[in-house]
Amino acid sequence: MDILIIDNYDSFTYNIAHIVRNQPGVKLTIIKAGEIEPGNINRWHKIIFSPGPDLPRPGNIMERILDRYAASKSIFGICLGLQAIYLYFGGKLIHLDEVVHGRTKTISIIGKADGIFSGIESGFSAGLYHSWIADPDTLPEQVEITAVSSEKRIMAIKHKTFDITAVQFHPESVMTPCGSSILINWINM
Active site (catalytic) residues: 79, 170, 172
**Contact by Cβ (8 Å): 176, 127:** yes
